[in-house]
Amino acid sequence: MLATTYILGWCLGGLSLSMMIPAFFALIIGEETQAMAFMNSSVSLFFLAGGLIFALHQEKLAIGRKQQLLIVLGIWFLLPVGAGLPYYLSGVNSEFSGAYFEAVSGFTTTGSSLIQNLSDIPKSIILWRAMLQWLGGLTTLLMLSFIIGKIMGVELFGRDTRSIIQSNSGSSADLENTVRTILPLYLGLTVLCYLLLMLFGIASFDALCLSLSTLSTGGYMPREGSISLYGSPMAEITLAIFMFLGAVSVIWVKALLERNKNVLARTNEPLWIGLIILVLGGTLAGVSMFRNLPPDLWAIIDSLTLGLAGAASLITTTGFIFGNPNQVVVPYLLLLVIALIGGGRYSTAGGLKISRVLAMLNLSMRELQNLLYPHGVHPTLYGNKSRDETVRRSIWSIFSITILFLVFMILFLSYLGIPLNAALMVSVSSFSNFGPAYEMARPVDPDSFPIIASMGYKAQLLLCVAMIIGRVETLIILGLLNLAIWRK
């Protein structure tokens, strides 16, 4: 527990310092109430973090498997308590349960919100929302690389993690190497996205918030409405490209920038993600052009850019709305499937992950071949690699646990009075960290899809649990429930 507490102290300290950015921004633009809320939150967390670090800095701290599990859950469950303080102290959320929901949704890059009208929200709070998603995306990548990937096995997550982690000792050197690899890449892509958005006509504040939410695949908008309000096709294409980069493996992006052909050749998941975006984007563009017959050249270009950006927003679980929000109606079943599948491994995207779905399909075909030709030899290949029995069991275990957890969620939400279709969609969208999917489904039947703000604190806290479990992987939860770990 000491190691867990010590590391949580450093995380709280980092969160405290990050709050000073929106605090100074609030002072500059004259939002005194919000500035005080951020400063009070920052000072409180700073003293708490300082106390924990000072008390434990001379202790000999060992980080074993149990400590790693506790660190993961501690970060995702406890940091949003501190991150929610500015929402509560500034009056944006009158109940702390609502502030906690906002913080969890932002930090897990889910993108759900209890806020109904962004035009009434101070700019410093809007900046904090975007910053939380960015920090959550960075934390996700660090946790996946340094802890979760090792706990769940390199075969399940990919051997290419060795380009980030040189050993499995869990030492501070491993952590430093992970941070040195991921942080510059993540920060550099964010800055590049920001500069390009400004170049293509997006105002500085909006470009900053959009770039923070894009690389984290979070989907928070800096203003009410959709991306099409900016009227910039090049900005839409830019967002589509960076959503794609945010939703594919950070290891693949690193290999792409370094022109590492060996890693690129072994990884076909990004190719599948890109292909699906192109196909779905072309379909959405075709539907848009069919609705506006006969289209002129500008209408064709606009339909293509909006279609590709909209498809990227869906497939990457980002959730930006492209086009008129009242006219963008994605079929319920398609939304459900997209949300459940999600994006890529070692990324900030949510869901089961496309590579796992492809592996499950591959495994299913192999089992079918075994039934038809029981004496044949049918190796399970995925990505030019043979999958052993352990990996097969792990993949199907994740899928089975996910379905069982979603069934529990749906039953409990239905018990609280939420209609079945709404309970199904909000459960899947929260677990897959694709919160805007629920809002996209609401126009289909608004009367049967209550807004999340009206669901009550019990449902909202349950959705918080779903968002966190979806982010940390279900096998981690099972690991904590394994009594053998606690007997050691």
Which structure tokens are listed for 192? 């590049």
> For 281-328, how does the pLDDT look when each residue is reduced to its tens digit (9 = 90+)?
998 888 877 777 666 777 788 888 988 999 999 999 999 987 765 555
pLDDT at 301: 84
Average pLDDT over residues 415-428: 94
Compare 231 and 426 and report the one with higher pLDDT.
Answer: 426
Contact assessment for residue 50 and residue 16, using Cβ atoms and an 8 Å cutoff = no
Contact assessment for residue 272 and residue 354, using Cβ atoms and an 8 Å cutoff = yes
**Phi, psi (deg, nearest 5) at residue 319:** 100, 10
Report which secondary-structure segment, H or E, holds 381: strand 381-382
Is residue 232 assigned to a domain?
no
Average per-residue pLDDT for the chain: 84
**What does the DSSP assignment read for 213-278?**
HHHTT----SSSS-GGGG--HHHHHHHHHHHHHHHS-HHHHHHHHHT-HHHHHH--HHHHHHHHHH
> For 122-152, how does the pLDDT look when each residue is reduced to its tens digit (9 = 90+)?
999 999 999 999 999 999 998 887 776 555 5
Number of domains in the chain: 1
Average pLDDT over residues 339-361: 86
Closest CA to 124 of 55, 222, 58, 220: 222
Domain carrying residue 342: 334-487
Considering the entire predicted model, what is its pTM?
0.90
Closest CA to 441 of 424, 462, 463, 416: 424
Is residue 418 assigned to a domain?
yes
Give the highest mean pLDDT range of 146-150, 224-228, 239-243, 436-440: 239-243
State the pLDDT confidence band at 225, using cuts at 50, 70 and 90.
Answer: confident
Give residue 263's identity as a one-letter amino acid code.
V
Is residue 90 assigned to a domain?
no
Does residue 344 surpass a pLDDT of 80?
Answer: yes
State the pLDDT confidence band at 361, using cuts at 50, 70 and 90.
Answer: confident
| DSSP helix/strand/coil, 410 | helix
Which structure tokens are listed for 284? 């959405």
Average pLDDT over residues 80-102: 95
Helices (H), 342-417: 354-372, 389-415
Q: Distance between CA 410 and CA 459 in Å, rounded?
A: 11
Q: How many CB atoms lie within 10 A of CB 231?
A: 10
Does residue 46 surpass a pLDDT of 60?
Answer: yes
**Phi, psi (deg, nearest 5) at residue 386:** -85, 135
